[in-house]
A and B are shown apart, each in its own frame.
Chain A
């Protein structure tokens, strides 16, 4: 799943830096993810994984790193199954 998330971040140009440089634990906001870009990423994730983020997940922490996103998306995907 982390690979797919990486692809989404790369394809939607969420970060001003190249994806090879980004490690799973890196803080995406520190790497230059704007609040506009973070919402674009949330929309892309909902679309790609056919999920809907509940309000409590719509916060900075949920989307702060690739591994954090991975955890949240996994929770929603497995909850649906």
Chain B
């Protein structure tokens, strides 16, 4: 997609530009995106116009070099308007983090990062595989490098916005003889691949992510394979980034229900001056839950930034256990918050339309617990806790 850049984009802070996209575009199309289960193209055209797809990239490569906190703020802000758009934007940023952190020593990837900033490229992900499911650290498919070309075929059972993406970062085994956990990641560029749809996407929520299943067949320049093994990419950035940025997405979607609940209570208070509306107590309660969710997000970001500065922390089991726990807790809190808001909004919130509806938020938040199933994550954490001590420190 070729979009003219908004000249104001470069002088306004990113969060202001995101507020513009969220309020003027994403909110307007969110209901239609949800009802028809389509990619939110207007929102992504606007994000490109506002140059918000490459803003995490360091300045020397053409981006704005934003911090993780700022990126999470952008994701959450978009989440208040359209959950699917925020999840897509978030997943794009998770892929971007791999490019930003693991391109060192690979001129091809450094050039591609420049290109991504210049052309505001949208990056997608293919980790999930038929026969493997959400077990990120194992692959059946393998990349074959012959001469200076790579070739890859993957039964990718879930690629969000696969058709809209400018590239799909796919995990696979290093070569056809490698063990299932000996993986690499390949930047499959649009033009390299064909996508044959194998599973459609007609779901309760997150309908606009269009996370269809495809057979991905890709061929291109062998240098597109990341030099660093995927085990390191996963351990040093991707797992933590996914849990933190997903949490930011769900936080935004949940926060929107609380904003609505507050407006509802306030309207009630104005209708009957001198009385405290019945929902007011529930509002205090749900605001506490939202604050809890925010604390999880803030703590996750702080932990990650600490680990960036101290690599030995990044590789510890306690770090992984902590980030796993944040994802599980945040995914449960999101849906609990929507339920609490629903108690305040009552039937007006339960309706599928109207000013107080939180139906879409609720359905979108239902995906949180299964986006890498919480039971899988808890299973993984339970293994770590056989040896890693429970963290009882304050700092």
Residues on A facing B (Cβ under 8 Å): 16-17, 29-36, 39, 42-43, 46, 53, 55-56, 58-61
- Contact across chains for B387 and A31 when beta carbons are under 8 A apart: no
A-chain residues with CB within 8 Å of residue B181 when the two chains form the complex? 29-30, 32-34
- Contact across chains for B179 and A30 when beta carbons are under 8 A apart: yes
B62, CB-defined interface residue at 8 Å: no
B384, CB-defined interface residue at 8 Å: yes
Can you list 15 residue pairs at the A/B interface with Cβ under 8 Å? A32-B180, A32-B181, A33-B181, A34-B137, A34-B181, A39-B384, A42-B387, A55-B316, A55-B318, A55-B389, A58-B317, A59-B316, A59-B317, A60-B235, A61-B315
Task: Tell me how far the C-beta of A68 lies from the nearest C-beta in chain B, rounded to whole angstroms.
Answer: 12
Closest to B319 in A: A59
- Contact across chains for B229 and A30 when beta carbons are under 8 A apart: yes
- Contact across chains for A32 and B389 when beta carbons are under 8 A apart: no
Residues on B facing A (Cβ under 8 Å): 137, 178-182, 229, 231, 235, 312, 315-318, 380, 383-384, 386-389
Answer whether A58 and B179 are a contact pair too, CB < 8 Å, given A36-B383, A39-B383.
no
Closest to A36 in B: B383
Q: Which of A17, A34, A53, A61 is within 8 Å of B387, CB to CB? A: A53
A-chain residues with CB within 8 Å of residue B389 when the two chains form the complex? 55
- Contact across chains for B386 and A39 when beta carbons are under 8 A apart: yes
A36 to B380, CA, bound (A): 8
A32 to B229, CA, bound (A): 13
Closest to A54 in B: B389
B-chain residues with CB within 8 Å of residue A58 when the two chains form the complex? 316-318, 387-388
Closest to B135 in A: A34
A-chain residues with CB within 8 Å of residue B383 when the two chains form the complex? 35-36, 39
Answer whether A31 and B318 are a contact pair too, CB < 8 Å, given A53-B387, A58-B387.
no
Closest to A58 in B: B317
Answer whether A60 and B315 are a contact pair too, CB < 8 Å, given A30-B229, A35-B380.
yes
A36 to B320, CA, bound (A): 13
Answer whether A32 and B179 are a contact pair too, CB < 8 Å, given A43-B387, A58-B388.
yes
A-chain residues with CB within 8 Å of residue B315 when the two chains form the complex? 59-61
Best-buried of A17, A31, A42, A58 by chain B (most CB within 10 Å): A58
A-chain residues with CB within 8 Å of residue B137 when the two chains form the complex? 34-35
A29 to B315, CA, bound (A): 14
A-chain residues with CB within 8 Å of residue B235 when the two chains form the complex? 60
A-chain residues with CB within 8 Å of residue B380 when the two chains form the complex? 35
Closest to A34 in B: B181
A-chain residues with CB within 8 Å of residue B179 when the two chains form the complex? 16-17, 30-32
Closest to B315 in A: A59
Answer whether A39 and B387 are a contact pair too, CB < 8 Å, given A59-B312, A61-B315.
yes
A32 to B137, CA, bound (A): 10
A61 to B301, CA, bound (A): 23
Task: Tell me how far the C-beta of B322 lies from the nearest C-beta in chain A, rounded to whole angstroms.
Answer: 12
Best-buried of A17, A32, A43, A55 by chain B (most CB within 10 Å): A55
